[in-house]
Amino acid sequence: MAVKTYDFQMTTKGFADIIDVTERVSRLVGESGLSDGLATVFVPGSTAGVTTVEFESGLVKDLKEAFERLAPTGVTYAHDARWGDGNGFSHVRSSLLKTSLTIPFKNSNLMLGTWQQIVIVDFDNRSRRRRVIVQVMGE
Amino acid sequence: MAVKTYDFQMTTKGFADIIDVTERVSRLVGESGLSDGLATVFVPGSTAGVTTVEFESGLVKDLKEAFERLAPTGVTYAHDARWGDGNGFSHVRSSLLKTSLTIPFKNSNLMLGTWQQIVIVDFDNRSRRRRVIVQVMGE
Amino acid sequence: MAVKTYDFQMTTKGFADIIDVTERVSRLVGESGLSDGLATVFVPGSTAGVTTVEFESGLVKDLKEAFERLAPTGVTYAHDARWGDGNGFSHVRSSLLKTSLTIPFKNSNLMLGTWQQIVIVDFDNRSRRRRVIVQVMGE
């Protein structure tokens, strides 16, 4: 049993920018040399999130619209009144989707479905440089 | 410390079919022979999800209605326009609820509350044969 | 590699009471003596949840309002008709936010962002005594 902690960086566009990171997470599981265990994908910060989706342009659009219904940009946020950065909706979306996801792997392969990709969603209201943590634990 | 990866199959009815899998997960924790650790319940695929609920018929109905508010069947999904399978709402619900859940166990018992059950929700728009992964890690 | 399972108690006010537990979780990671691994925060029960947020009074208010939109108090819940405890909305919110969160740590530090705190949300419709599980696994 061992734990390996990795990270990678990426530039996002914000406004529910949805980025497929499956390939990067998968490569790090391979790099760990571990066969069976858990890969945890975690975004430090409070305006992003992580989940899975069938990554195709239709669903990317649908998911953005769902986030707009979940925490609309057009309502008043107390955060904005206090801090003036106008990204109250980004914070609320991040808290609802959450910043962590654990995926089992076996024989060094993530146990995802064929049409299931891991995505980081950047909810912020501007382009960001993001660090993503991938912690691989297993044997 | 060890990792054991199990799976089981089940048939669902789709349309936010909510299935209590607590007994099956609990049995696999017992089978692992491990005392303390994490049980990860993961559904491969992009039209299902996993969470906990007090599993009684009232809440099963309430939760279905909540998913209908969260990602309504009656709005237009770009996924459906592209792929024609009419399950855009199923994909969006899956991404929002997410397909993974980790539950600690101690003395070979899941640390759930008395009225808290683990459920798989099948959001697809048809009956499905589903595989559920249960990975048990601990000592 | 080792697993340490802790818990702590707290009194909440209910009605989406949002409590910052970062300090307590962080202290338990330190107490475990482990350097790298996963901290799992889990709430036994079916009327609470756990997530992360930038913990400031504006966002605490915004998040409460988001939960009110997600599962309003003013709609009819079948759970209430059957059980009469009037907390159907609390259960639905708990199932949507979920009761588990896993956070990686490295060099005995939780890998949270600077403005990212771990919070327990008590959705119940009354004050509660809550037990929170913190399971630390790693090396």
**Inter-chain touch C111–A46, beta carbons under 8 Å:** no
- Give the other-Cβ count within 10 Å of B76's Cβ: 10
> Do residues B38 and A40 touch, judged by C-beta distance below 8 A?
no
Using CA atoms, how far residue C89 sits from A29, B104, B136, C106, C115, in Å, is 40, 26, 32, 37, 29
Q: Count of alpha carbons within 13 Å of B61, Cβ hemisphere only?
A: 11
* Closest residue to C95, CB basis, from B51, B61, B139: B51
In 3D space, the residue among A12, A59, C72, A43 whose CA is nearest the CA of residue B82 turns out to be A59
Q: Is C92 exposed, middle or buried (0-12, 13-18, 19+ CB in 10 A)?
A: buried
Whether B82 has a pLDDT exceeding 90, the answer reads: no
CA-nearest of B49, B57, B58, B41 to B12 is B49
| Chain B residues with beta carbon closer than 8 angstroms to that of A51 | 95-96, 98
Report CB contact under 8 Å: B115, C45. Answer: yes
Size of interface A-B (CB pairs under 8 A): 104
- Cα-based distances in Å from B48 to B4, B20, B81, B90, B95: 23, 14, 21, 7, 8
Total domains, chain B: 1
- Residue among A42, A88, A133 minimizing CB distance to C62: A88
Partner chains of A (3+ C-beta pairs under 8 Å): B, C
d(CA B21, CA A63): 28
How many Cβ atoms sit within 10 Å of the Cβ of residue C114?
8
B83 has pLDDT over 90: no
Residue C54 has pLDDT above 90, yes or no: yes
CA distance C66 to A72: 10
Between the CA of residue B113 and those of B109, C45, C74, what are the distances in Å?
Answer: 11, 4, 27
Nearest CA in chain B to C101: B102
Domain range enclosing C18: 2-138
Listed by number, the residues of chain A in 83-112 with a beta carbon closer than 8 Å to a beta carbon of chain C are 83, 88, 91-92, 94-96, 98-100, 102
pLDDT in tens, C88-128: 999 999 999 999 999 999 999 999 999 999 999 999 999 99
Say whether pLDDT at A83 is over 90. no
Distance CA B5, CA A37 (A): 8
Cβ contact A109:B44 at 8 Å: no
The tokens for B49 are 């999800």
The answer on pLDDT for A88 being more than 90 is yes
Which residue, among C76, C87, C133, has the nearest Cα to B53 in the 3D structure? C87
Going B66 to B71 to B74 to B75, the CA torsion angle's sign is positive
Residue B125 CA, distance from chain mean position:
16
Residue A76 near residue B68, CB atoms below 8 Å: no
ipTM associated with this complex:
0.98
Question: CB neighbours of B25 closer than 8 A, spacing ≥ 6?
Answer: B39, B41, B103, B110, B118, B134
At residue C131 the predicted structure's pLDDT band, cuts being 50, 70 and 90, is very high
pLDDT at C99: 98
Residue B97 clears pLDDT 90, i.e. is over it: yes
d(CA A2, CA C22): 26
The Cα A61–Cα A17 span in angstroms is 10
Burial of C64 (0-12, 13-18, 19+ CB in 10 A): middle
**A80 closest CA partner among A89, A71, A70:** A89
Per-residue pLDDT tens digits for B27-73: 999 999 999 999 999 999 999 999 999 999 999 999 999 999 999 99
Question: Is-contact A100 A50, C-beta < 8 A?
Answer: yes
Q: Render pLDDT for C28-44 as a digit per residue (tens, 0 to 9).
A: 999 999 999 999 999 99
Write out the two tokens for A46.
């409070």
How would residue C82 be classed by pLDDT, with cut points 50, 70 and 90? confident
- Would you state the structure tokens that stand for residue A112, as one six-digit string? 């995802």
Query: What's the CATH code of the domain at A64?
Result: 2.60.120.460
Cβ atoms of C87 and C47 within 8 Å: the answer is yes
The answer to whether residue B84 scores a pLDDT higher than 90 is: no
Q: How far apart are CA C102 and CA C51, in angstroms?
A: 10
Residue C114 Cα, gap to closest chain A Cα (Å): 7
**C67 touching B, CB under 8 A?**
no
Coil, strand or helix: which one is C84? Answer: coil
The reply to whether C80 touches chain B by the CB within 8 Å rule is: yes
How does residue A36 score in pLDDT terms, banded at 50, 70 and 90? very high
Q: CA C20 to CA C127: how far, in whole Å?
A: 17
Helix (H) or strand (E) holding B128: strand B128-138
